[in-house]
Amino acid sequence: MTQISASELEVMDVLWARPGLAASDVHDALGDGRDWNVRTVKTFLARLVEKGALRTVEDGRRYLYYPVIKEDEYKAEAATQFIDRVFSGRAAPLVAHLADSRGLTRDDIAALEKLLGELKK
């Protein structure tokens, strides 16, 4: 699996939501919450292209960026690797940790109960 840093993942999230953006559009979509300038975003984009996570299409004097890897496949694999590494491949300790450290909302609990009901069938 392609290793993507947390910062690169933020860039990927933008492009998964809106493929085909130029670097300046990605920068704008990231919003003011980041102190990244356009050059920083271009660096992340270049790294992601090198890693094979993005491809480019020339559009005049600029490049448009498109995801090569699918969001759901990447996140599923990343989650599996995390659970394997940190929780010895077991989901129950992960859920227990989330419940203890962050608390679960009523909606979270309802979703988990629904999922468990479906898994029991």
Distance CA 93, CA 96 (A): 5
- The domain total for the chain is 2
Q: Is residue 1 part of a domain?
A: no
- 37 part of a folded domain: yes
Shared-domain flag, residues 80 and 97? yes
For the chain, what is the total number of helices (H) and then of strands (E)? Answer: 6, 3
> In which domain, by residue range, is 60 found?
6-67
- Region of 4 please: left (phi>0), alpha (psi -120 to 50) or beta: beta
CATH code of the domain containing 18: 1.10.10.10
- For Cα atoms 46, 1, 28, give the angle at the middle one, nearest 5 degrees: 35
Task: Indicate the pTM of the whole model.
Answer: 0.83
10 with 52, same domain: the answer is yes
Pair 82, 39 in one domain: no
| 33 and 75, same domain (yes or no) | no
pLDDT by residue for the chain (121 residues), tens only, comes to 889 999 999 999 999 999 999 999 999 999 877 889 999 999 999 999 999 999 999 999 999 999 999 999 999 999 999 999 999 999 889 888 888 887 888 898 899 999 999 999 8
